Structure 1
Amino acid sequence: MAQAKGNGASLEGKLQNKAAGANNAPAANPSQTIAAYLKKMESQIAEAMPKHMNIERLSRIALTTIRTNPKLLECSIPSLMAAVMQSAQLGLEPGLIGHCYIIPYGKEATFIIGYKGMIDLARRSGNIQSIAAHEVYENDFIELTYGLEENLKHVPWFLRKDEKPTESGKIIGAYMVAKFNDGGHFIHYMPISEIEAHRARSKAAKNGPWVTDYTEMCKKTVVRSGWKWLPISVEIASAVTQDETTRKDITPSDEPFIDITPPAGTDDPPPQSEQQNGAGSEQLEFEE
């Protein structure tokens, strides 16, 4: 009996030591966990990408973008993977040159298309010869007339010859000009009051590119406002003009959930998210 009691005490001690060891085990590195998920999803992301993109490059850029923003490392894995997938589907690279952004909203990562990304998509339509957007400062000279003979003349403050302003002044508006292959064109101007009204309705009003890239977002807003008048595909037009007040820029309305099974050796999977992936009618799943 004494022997049995001794064995019991020994077993209890071993269990306690094991439990203590588990409690003291280092937590998984979020960056490594996200990298593992990206690696396992590469084949699925590659299938969604246009031919001009490279999966290795996109994965590297996306991971760098996530790693350099501590708040993104706190976001749910499904929302991060969804944002990367949306970037791949539209053929846009996050960060760097401002094609698109991955922005943290609490624990959810959100894909937001940038002004340069919108212009890139418009050019890819094959119907647009050129498209550009510019901000206008209060010391610029600008003259715009609409009607049968539309005309736009914009001279930046530092190139003016009639006057010699010493500074730009505040931004007072922005405009876009698109030239079509058939010889037509489209001009769209927005005063800063309209741009600020759009910003106020945006989820990103106090976060992300509206703070770090204000001028670029002014130009994006005017391009986005005039998007419906451009000769581009219905799918892209619909995706880009989604209202930021309720969702994000690229969010078709009837997508399924992301079902993610964690790579071996990582933490337990996060609960299934209602973050949507923009992958059409197929559910994104990891295969064991």
Structure 2
Amino acid sequence: MATNESIKNQLKQQEQPKQMQERPQVNSVQGLLKNPVIQGKFQQLLKEKTSGFTSSLITLVNGDSYLSDSDPMSIITGAMQAAQLDLPLEKQFGFAYLVPFNSKEGNKWVKKAQFVLGYRGYIQLAQRSGQYKSINVGNVYEGQLESWNPLTEELVFNPEGKVSDNVVGYFGYFQLLNGFEKTVYWTKEQVEKHRVENNKSKDKSKLTGVWTSNYDAMAQKTVLRNLLSKWGILSIEMQKAVLVDESEEFQEEQEQILQDVTPVETATVEANPVAIEAIETDK
């Protein structure tokens, strides 16, 4: 995956007599996008989609005061991670985000951007693999869950039973073309326990980043990522996504800048009442 250091090293190798004149331009996202090395990397990854992707990146940065104040190279690095997965960064799609945060370097805090994969990004990558007949993830509100048997994986879910907007858990489900299917259900307490255990910041209980602005979307992603990585068929793309997502989601010495990176529409797909019997015998 692209890193700040690898890109910086290549930029150093192409120093020219005009370096001093170009320096102000390089210290911006637009300036970096004009650099031949970076242009070449995006072109290699996106081919004919390069122009549209970079234009949308500039629009995204210019329209977000938090992001535009972040280290330009970190924005480019995060954008390249999205490009490697061929996922758009526009917030309204909810496939992937660039989230600003403060990173401690020595005694200083530096604003940087971090690539964060959305649950819709996982669904998109699963669909591309051509192995999945159906895939779903969503909220379970108070009153909707009639029963859940983790042994047989029988989930009886009634969307008409909703009595409040209080989310009590999250379901995940997929069926492969070969007939194999898997259902999981996590209570909100299980999701929170997972979040805290994997949070490497000093204050483990504190909500940060997208967890603050859209807890349910991050919870759905956690359930879906766990479901697919344990029992799904992972394409090379999906393997990369899981590795990047797991390594980037929780970082030490970071204080996330709270901002809204929620998609314009965050509709959750709700299933009809269903009783799903697992075909897997060894869990």
1:58-79 CA deviation, whole Å, 9 max, x = no partner? 1122222222222222222221
Aligned letter for 2:220? K
- Give 1:30-109 correspondences, 5 Å limit: 33-40=28-35, 41-49=38-46, 54-94=49-89, 95-106=91-102, 107-109=111-113
The corresponding residue for 2:187 is 191
- Which shifted more, 109-118 or 134-143? 134-143
Q: For structure 2, which runs of at least 5 residues remain unmatched after alignment? A: 1-23, 103-110, 252-283
Whole-angstrom CA distance in 2 between matches of 1:209 and 1:36? 28
Aligned letter for 1:43? G
Inter-CA distance 238–86: structure 2 relative to 1 (3 Å threshold): closer
2:208 equivalent to 1:207? yes
* DSSP 3-state at the match of 1:64: helix
- 2:29–2:73 contact (8 Å) kept in structure 1: no
Cα drift, residue 90 of structure 1: 0.4
The corresponding residue for 2:242 is 240
Whole-angstrom CA distance in 1 between matches of 2:121 and 2:234? 14
* DSSP 3-state at the match of 2:124: helix
* DSSP 3-state at the match of 2:186: strand
How many correspondences in the alignment? 211
Inter-CA distance 77–117: structure 2 relative to 1 (3 Å threshold): same
Q: Pick from 130, 133, 136: which aligns with 2:137? A: 133
Structure number with the bigger relative contact order (C-alpha 8 A, sep ≥ 6) is: 2
Instruction: Give every structure 1 segment of 4 or more consecutive aligned residues whose post-TM-superposition deviation is greater than 6 Å.
Output: none
* DSSP 3-state at the match of 2:170: strand
Cα drift, residue 98 of structure 1: 0.6
* DSSP 3-state at the match of 1:54: helix
Whole-angstrom CA distance in 1 between matches of 2:248 and 2:42? 20
1:128-186 CA deviation, whole Å, 9 max, x = no partner? 11111011112213422344x54322112xx23xxxx6x42421110110010001111
Q: For structure 1, which runs of at least 5 residues remain unmatched after alignment? A: 1-27, 252-288
TM-score by length of 1: 0.65
Whole-angstrom CA distance in 1 between matches of 2:183 and 2:164? 23
Whole-angstrom CA distance in 2 between matches of 1:39 and 1:173? 46
Aligned letter for 2:92? L
Whole-angstrom CA distance in 2 between matches of 1:250 and 1:202? 5
1:226-255 CA deviation, whole Å, 9 max, x = no partner? 1221111256325415574xx41599xxxx
* DSSP 3-state at the match of 1:248: helix
RMSD, aligned CA:
2.9
Inter-CA distance 54–203: structure 2 relative to 1 (3 Å threshold): farther
Cα drift, residue 56 of structure 1: 2.1
Cα drift, residue 206 of structure 1: 3.3
Whole-angstrom CA distance in 1 between matches of 2:132 and 2:250? 21
- 1:87–1:100 contact (8 Å) kept in structure 2: yes
Whole-angstrom CA distance in 1 between matches of 2:211 and 2:156? 27
Whole-angstrom CA distance in 1 between matches of 2:213 and 2:25? 28
The corresponding residue for 1:264 is none
Whole-angstrom CA distance in 2 between matches of 1:64 and 1:233? 31
Q: Pick from 153, 158, 161: which aligns with 1:155? A: 158
- Which shifted more, 167-176 or 220-229? 167-176
- State percent identity of aligned pairs: 27
* DSSP 3-state at the match of 2:115: strand
1:181-209 CA deviation, whole Å, 9 max, x = no partner? 00111111111112112333347963332
Aligned letter for 1:168? S
Inter-CA distance 99–76: structure 2 relative to 1 (3 Å threshold): same
